């Protein structure tokens, strides 16, 4: 397993381009199940999760190739409808093939994702909504065994009792080919849901309300393959912003999803970081001296849970005490123990972490437990004095496209080794 060796303390300067969004790429790729033929996707990041989704789709008779930086997905159709445990257990987002398979092939046999480091990650809301749309679902032997007895899903009024991003995406995709109208209440407003809606509309879907809590989908008889360009990754952008904020420097961030970054930009601005915004780029200037900031994670447009670990890393050396409330996942403080081994002063009580800023962190061997905790540990190591080793970087490789190369190009002392 690879690890990063990081010698902290270097300021970051220069320019970096943000890659396409992981959390937009995965539903957009799954949506190609909805229409046979040749789909052309641009700005798809080269991540392990994208490779896993590609393998999953190849098993569903969708051939995948690249052509001058574009991802070509040629859907040959057919009846096969299984998403096997071997793949789903490595990537929970595999559940995103459930809705499209039912809508287009009338059948789906998808392994239950199971939990992960940050929580139980149930899919009960996906299942209940699909049942309301006319699906017969049996959950046994670790699989969701779903079929559409009428041959076609029918529209329904769906209210999610908890805002769910992939649940909203699954139902929006399923509804595009359903008979009649589907209205999703308490829908997720995440930018990645909006990106998926734009691609579905390019395929001929009739969707309104994406980006609000009420999404309406008028089912159509058929969709067509489309060309689509994935939005930039707001969490990669936020992660790089935190790195610069923490170590100090001046960096030009190009192709950033500036509008979707506002909760992150606002938080950094109150911590004493200077961020100039212009079009799809922003320039961050930081002295590395930060002020404390209380954070509560919320569904978009609130502060994103996927940025909690990264902010906790820089708040660990901010002046003052910060209170972080994690309201989305029940176990998303796995990074705290590792930060404390680097000298951070953090106390957890339930879903709340109290972070007392310390003068400095000291380098140490640490271990990533999940994707964003791993990113947070890289930031902590960049901020810390002396050498750190971040192990199990395969977690980071799932969701970041060449993170260490991007940081190295900005002046970070980071390299990957085999351990
Ligand atoms: C998406 O996960 C993202 N993944 C996550 O990013 C992100 O952290 C999360 O949304 C929240 O923003 C992708 O988009 C591929 P949820 P998702 O359904 O859809 C509960 C990353 O690091 N819930 O919005 O799985 C659930 O337990 C990843 O890139 C149910 O109870 O999250 C959680 O408490 C991590 N039943 C809450 O809802 C359900 O059927 C929100 O989960 C579904 C969800």
pLDDT tens per residue across span 177-234: 999 999 999 999 999 999 999 999 999 999 999 999 999 999 999 999 999 999 999 9
Q: Which atom of ligand 1 is nearest to the CA of 93?
A: 15
Over residues 282-307, the pLDDT tens digits come to 999 999 999 999 999 999 999 999 99
**Pairwise CA distance, residues 366 & 378, whole Å:** 10
Of 401, 332, 323, 337, nearest to 372 by C-alpha is 332
* Paired tokens of 178: 């359903």
Distances (CA, A) of 156 to 38, 129, 180, 365: 30, 8, 8, 52
Rounded distance from Cα 41 to ligand 1 centre (Å): 24
Tokens representing 227? 């060309």
% of the chain residues with pLDDT over 90: 94
Helix (H) or strand (E) holding 138: strand 136-140
Q: List pocket residues of ligand 1, CB cut-off 6 Å.
A: 22-23, 26, 93, 119, 121-126, 162, 164-167, 192, 305-306, 328-329, 371-372, 399
221 CA distance to ligand 1 middle (Å): 30
The residue whose CB lies within 8 Å of the most ligand 1 atoms, and thus the one to mutate among 112, 165, 191, 332, is 165
Nearest-atom number in ligand 1 for the CA of 372 is 22
Nearest-angstrom CA–CA distance, 413 and 339? 19
Whether cis (ω within 30° of 0) applies to the bond prior to 301 is yes
Instruction: Tell if the pTM clears 0.85, that is, is over it.
Output: yes
- 345-349 β-sheet, strand order: 295-296, 321-325, 352-356, 345-349
In sequence order, what are the beta bridge partners of 414? Answer: 6
pLDDT score for 357: 98
Q: Which helix (H) or strand (E) holds 258?
A: none
Is 386 noted as a catalytic residue in this protein?
no
Contact call for residues 73 and 62 (beta carbons, < 8 A): yes
Mean pLDDT of 149-169: 97
pLDDT greater than 90 at residue 120: no
* pLDDT tens track for 306-334: 999 999 999 999 999 999 999 999 999 99
Region for 278 from its dihedrals, namely left if φ exceeds 0, alpha if ψ lies in -120 to 50, beta otherwise: beta
């Amino acid at each position: 397993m690879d690890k990063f060796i990081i010698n902290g303390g270097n300021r970051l300067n220069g320019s970096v381009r943000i890659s396409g969004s992981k959390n937009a790429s995965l539903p957009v790729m799954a949506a190609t199940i909805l229409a046979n033929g040749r789909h052309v996707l641009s700005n798809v990041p080269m991540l392990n999760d994208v490779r896993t989704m590609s393998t999953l789709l190849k098993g569903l008779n969708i051939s995948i190739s690249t052509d001058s930086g574009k991802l070509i997905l040629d859907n040959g159709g057919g009846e096969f409808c299984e998403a096997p445990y071997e793949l789903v257990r490595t990537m929970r987002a595999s559940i995103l093939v459930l809705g499209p398979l039912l809508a287009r092939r009338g059948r789906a046999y998808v392994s239950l994702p199971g939990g992960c480091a940050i929580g139980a990650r149930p899919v009960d809301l996906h299942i209940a909504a699909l049942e309301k749309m006319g699906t017969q679902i049996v959950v046994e032997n670790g699989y969701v065994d779903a079929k559409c007895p009428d041959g076609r899903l029918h529209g329904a009024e769906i209210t999610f009792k908890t805002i769910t991003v992939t649940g909203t995406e699954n139902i929006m995709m399923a509804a595009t080919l359903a008979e009649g109208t589907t209205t999703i209440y308490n829908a997720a407003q995440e930018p990645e849901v909006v990106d998926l809606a734009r691609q579905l509309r390019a395929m001929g879907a009739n969707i309104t309300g994406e980006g609000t809590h009420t999404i309406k989908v008028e089912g159509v008889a058929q969709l067509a393959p489309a060309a689509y360009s994935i939005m930039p990754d707001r969490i990669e952008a936020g992660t790089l912003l935190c790195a610069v904020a923490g170590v100090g420097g001046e960096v030009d961030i190009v192709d950033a999803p500036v509008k979707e970054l506002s909760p992150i930009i606002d938080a950094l601005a109150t911590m004493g970081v200077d961020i100039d915004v212009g079009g799809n780029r922003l320039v961050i200037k930081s002295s590395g001296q930060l002020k404390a900031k209380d954070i509560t994670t919320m569904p978009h447009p609130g502060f994103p849970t996927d940025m909690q670990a990264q902010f906790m890393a820089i708040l660990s050396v901010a002046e003052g005490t910060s209170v972080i409330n994690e309201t989305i996942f029940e176990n998303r403080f796995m990074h705290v123990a590792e930060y404390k081994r680097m000298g951070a002063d953090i106390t957890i009580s339930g879903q709340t972490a109290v972070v007392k800023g310390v003068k400095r962190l000291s380098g140490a061997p640490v271990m990533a437990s999940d994707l964003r905790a791993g990113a947070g540990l890289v930031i902590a190591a960049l901020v810390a004095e002396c050498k750190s080793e971040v192990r199990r970087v395969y977690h980071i490789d799932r969701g970041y496209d060449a993170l260490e190369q991007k940081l190295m190009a900005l002046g970070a002392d980071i390299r990957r080794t085999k351990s």
